[in-house]
């Protein structure tokens, strides 16, 4: 059983400080038992990152689109697992208004960090939450999952304008916490390229952008956003 103390020790031993920004992509099944389940894991990260930001992806790309063109931040359920579903609706977090690639942020700067996502016109646009992780010098933890779950790589794709990643725009409606509606024209992913992302592992490790650790029963990939970005720029040019 992974305890709050175990998570704090893991973070400290891997060079993460209480003022850092940390994103987690998580398989709760791979971790094994966590004291308090999903809420216990969120509480542990929150309490350690007391002066930083804790970010959980709460994506809805599978259930918001042409067939169901409405994203309601108060109701739309994430499509990527147990932890995101719990995080999305916690009262101590702030969920972004991005229609397909939202996040739930926890911490003193959470509201400011997710501000403006109702203006997004693609999954990970320049200037959006995902690209802001570079400015934050964030760390991404892959808790029991592989690099194909690393959403941040999509932000680098968009930064470099990699072709054929996005499809033609569709109309979507975003509903915020107060029930206000925003009408946008949005380009979803076509060919994401994520099935190839695991091939970047050796590159990231050689460039010092990624190290490995263990938490509970899970292997953990620890990705430095800035170093990973520079490595990708080199190979994707």
DSSP assignment letter at 147: G
* pTM of the predicted protein model: 0.97
Q: Identify the pLDDT of residue 193.
A: 87
33-47, pLDDT tens digit by residue?
999 999 999 999 999
Helix (H, G, I), strand (E, B), or coil: what is residue 216? coil
135-165, pLDDT tens digit by residue?
999 999 999 999 999 999 999 999 999 999 9
Q: Are 88 and 96 in contact (CB under 8 A)?
A: no
Q: For residues 218 and 144, give the distance between their C-alpha atoms in angstroms, rounded to a whole number.
A: 5
Q: Which residues of the chain have pLDDT under 70?
A: none
Q: Identify the pLDDT of residue 191.
A: 82
Nearest by Cα to 61 from 177, 187, 147: 187
- At 67, give phi and psi (nearest 5°): -75, -30
Q: Identify the pLDDT of residue 132.
A: 98
> How many of the other CB atoms lie within 10 Å of CB of 79?
15
Q: Identify the pLDDT of residue 237.
A: 76
The two three-digit tokens of residue 179, written as one number: 């029930």
Half-sphere exposure of residue 213: CA atoms within 13 angstroms, side-chain side: 19
For the CA atoms of 51, 20, 92, 84, what is the dihedral angle to 10 degrees? -170
């Amino acid at each position: 059983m992974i305890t709050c103390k175990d998570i704090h020790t893991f973070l400290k031993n891997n060079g993460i400080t209480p003022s850092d920004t940390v994103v987690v992509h998580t398989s709760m099944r791979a971790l094994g038992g966590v004291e308090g389940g999903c809420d216990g894991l969120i509480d542990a990260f929150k309490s350690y990152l007391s002066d930083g930001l804790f970010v959980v992806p709460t994506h809805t790309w599978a259930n918001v689109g042409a067939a169901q063109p409405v994203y309601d931040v108060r109701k739309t359920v994430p499509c990527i697992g147990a932890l995101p579903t719990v995080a999305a609706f916690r009262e101590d977090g702030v969920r972004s208004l991005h229609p397909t690639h939202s996040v739930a942020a926890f911490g003193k700067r959470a509201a400011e960090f997710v501000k403006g996502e109702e203006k997004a016109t693609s999954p990970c646009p320049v200037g959006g939450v995902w690209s802001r992780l570079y400015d934050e010098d964030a760390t991404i933890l892959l808790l029991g999952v592989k690099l194909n779950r690393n959403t941040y790589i999509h932000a680098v794709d968009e930064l470099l304008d990699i072709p054929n990643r996005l499809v033609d725009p569709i109309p979507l409606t975003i509903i915020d916490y107060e029930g206000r509606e925003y009408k946008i024209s949005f380009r979803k992913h076509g060919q994401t390229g994520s099935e190839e992302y695991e091939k970047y592992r050796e590159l990231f490790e050689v460039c010092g952008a990624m190290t490995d650790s263990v938490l509970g029963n899970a292997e953990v990939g620890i990705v430095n956003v800035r170093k990973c970005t520079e490595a990708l720029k080199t190979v994707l040019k």
